Every structure is written in structure tokens, then in C-alpha cells.
Amino acid sequence: MDLLNTLVEKGLRRELPTREEALAVLATSDDELLDVVAAAGKVRRQWFGRRVKLNYLVNLKSGLCPEDCSYCSQRLGSKAEILKYTWLKPDEASQAAAAGVAGGAKRVCLVASGRGPTDRDVERVGKTIEAIKEQNEGVEVCACLGLLSDGQAERLREAGADAYNHNLNTSEATYEGITKTHTYADRVDTVQKAHAAGLSACSGLIAGMGETDEDLVDVVYALRELDSDSVPVNFLIPFEGTPLAKEWNLTPQRCLRILAMVRFVCPDVEVRIAGGREVHLRSMQPLALNIANSIFLGDYLTSEGQAGQADLDMIADAGFEVEGAGTTTLPKHRADALAAAGATGGCGSKASAGCGSEASAEGGGCGAHAEEGGGCGPCGGHAAPAAPASSPARTADEARTDLVAVRRRGAGTDLAPNA
């Protein structure tokens, strides 16, 4: 296809595709799907080889969020029967993080529900970061605490945080239909605060909330303009007890097209398959590794993920390798720009650090929305129970409620985590 050849050439040059080209990827047929995956795979291998970065979520504070994000199991008024607990102590969080690191995770993501942290919360998280880094040499720590006030990003960086996550989630045009207690602009502001403080900006999206192809392209173009180093792609987990519980709009093929579009628009960033991969990609998860170079290991914030060992087996069986702690994830031009930004406390030059040369063309939400499409986050032991062998054949777009399991182990419980 001329379209795919063009997109590969642009991706290898870090050149921004046109909106028409990005939309065309989402409109490709199932007959063209493997060609789309192969083309996106060429761009992925150019910048990341066959490495897969593992990330591990620790839910520091679960549930009882005052925000009204429709996709979230921790939202105000949620009837989802999730775990609810207040702040983990630094040593408890460090023990939870150690399980993920032992399983191969290179980055630990510390997430807390709520509109945004108080200064006392920032101090508490700083002590947690210190405890984790004392126990796990070389581990990266990403914080996700919601809307940041002035000076808080700088304090997190001084405490040892390497990155800050705050997802845009959906397009500016549709944002008000998803959340009313904060704005899209609030989220953009928090990503910019993190970036300006020299933290690696992590910001992504949630697909499957009823958005159009145009909405998906809009949010991904916005993420490129924000110069995110990592882009988590969440697929809505329709939790019972949330307003979007009936939104089952995704197929594995649709998910692969979305991932490919993200890769073409942001060719040299860490594209992470985040929450919902088990629910919506299902048996096609290994194929998605040809596009994305990062996943969460084990359970997510409020839902269970695939067994940790199954994640590792999947990576090996698909011919990929787990990225080691001594390897720099980002391509040299991005890593150098991030280091320069960290040295100055600023975001550096977008022209050299962005997703591409035309890159210049979540505050407000519950911090736990970081990495779980549909719930408040992502990272496991057991996946949800598989359907028995005697079950009737399923249609391609049938709701897989059997794959949505609320997390009952790990952080906030007395049971061992899934890692």
C-alpha cells in the first residue's frame, strides 16, 4: 500500500503524518491488518529494536475520588466493588514495588486517587520514592497523583521521581462529555508543569469510550505536540457500577489499528499498551508487541491483569526481549534532550526532543486514572477466569465481561501481588 510505505518513510524520519493519513490507518480493512502491523513494526524496530519495557503499578491510595470521570471505577459515585484504602506507608509501597522489579519491571508507577496532591501528600510520596530507590537500585519511578500545583513537580523531581503521568484521555472536543469536575486544559497544564520541571512527561489516552476516529487522531496529535516521552494507550475497561459500563466498542483488530496510528504519529516515543489489553486484545496481545514497546506487568490499579509469568512467556514466545535496567529506553536524541532538560529544570528544545521535527506544529483528574482504560489505572497473578471449553462460540464484538476482574491482591491487601 502506498499509504503504509509513506507512513514508514515518515516514521523513520520522525516526520509528522497528515491527519488524512492517520485517519486512513484507522479506516483500513481487516484484510489489510497484518500489513498495517508490519509497517508499524518497521518504525518500532527502528527506534526500539525488539525490546519490551516492563512497568509495574502500585496503587498508593485506592477509591473515594472526588472527581466524576465516567470511565473510572474510583470516581465519585462509583458502585464498582473495588478495594478502598488510604495511603500506603513508604515501606509497604516499597515492598509492593519490589515484587514488580523482581518480575523484570524497569519502572514503578506510583498512583494515588484524588483531584491532586496536597503539599503533605507530595512529601509523603517523596519518602516513598526514597524508600523504593534505596531498595531497588536503578529503578525508574513515575508518579501519578492528579493535578499539580505550582512547585509540586519540582519537589517530586528533587525527591527522585523520574517521570510524571497525567493522561489527556480523549480529545478536547469530547472531554466535557466524559468529565465535568475538571477540564481538558487542566490536564494539559499538569503535563506542561511536569515537563517544565525536567520530569519525563508520560501522557496517553483511553480508547473505546464512544469517540470517533477524528477524536482519536486529535488526542494523539495533542500528545505529540506536548512532547510526551511515553504514551500509554488504554482500552476502556467497562466496570459495572460506572457510567460507561455498557460501552463495549472495541475489537482486537480495532485496538491494533489504534496502536499503529499512535506509532506512526509518535514514532520515537515509548508506546505502552496499558489497561484493557487482556480484555480487548485478548489472544492478539503478542501481535501488538510488534507495534508497542512497553507494557504493564501483572495487575492494574483496580483490576486484575494477565499472570505476570504469562506476560514474560508472551514476550519470549513472540521473539522479543525484556529491556534491562542498564539499557536506555528512549532513542539517543530524546534521551539527550531529556537529560538536558533535567539539568536545567526545563523542558529543553522541542525540535530535538519531540516525537519529530514538527512536534511544535490530567491535572484535574483522579491520579489513579493513569494507566487503566476504564478503571483507575493498570498492572498480576491470574487473569479473569477463562470461559469453559463447553461455552458456545463468541461473536467478534461480543462483550467479554468475564475478562473484567476486580483486583483483590497486592497493594492494600494481605495477599501476594501478581508480578
Residue with cell 519540582: 154
Pick the catalytic residue: 14, 44, 65, 347?
A: 65
Q: Which three cell numbers stand for residue 32?
A: 489489510
Pick the catalytic residue: 69, 347, 355, 376?
A: 69
Catalytic, 142? Answer yes
Please name the residues in contact with 265: beta carbons below 8 A apart, sequence gap of 6 or more: 16, 17, 22, 217, 220, 221, 224, 355
Catalytic, 266? Answer no
Please name the residues in contact with 146: beta carbons below 8 A apart, sequence gap of 6 or more: 67, 112, 113, 114, 115, 116, 117, 166, 190, 362, 363, 364, 365, 366, 367
Catalytic, 355? Answer no
Pick the catalytic residue: 115, 224, 263, 272?
A: 272
Catalytic, 394? Answer no
Helices (H) and strands (E) in the chain, counts: 13, 10
Give the bridge partners for 384, in sequence order: none
Q: Which three cell numbers stand for residue 214?
A: 477524528
Distance of CA 391 to the CA centre of its chain: 33
Catalytic, 69? Answer yes
Q: Which three cell numbers stand for residue 103?
A: 518480575
Strand 230-235 with 205-207, pairing: parallel
Strand 294-296 with 270-273, pairing: parallel
Is 59 strand, coil or helix? strand
Pick the catalytic residue: 144, 202, 366, 376?
A: 202
Pick the catalytic residue: 75, 107, 109, 379?
A: 109
Catalytic, 19? Answer no
Catalytic, 272? Answer yes
Pick the catalytic residue: 14, 72, 263, 379?
A: 72
- Give me the count of residues in the chain: 419
Question: Would you name the residues annotated as active-site residues?
Answer: 65, 69, 72, 109, 142, 202, 272
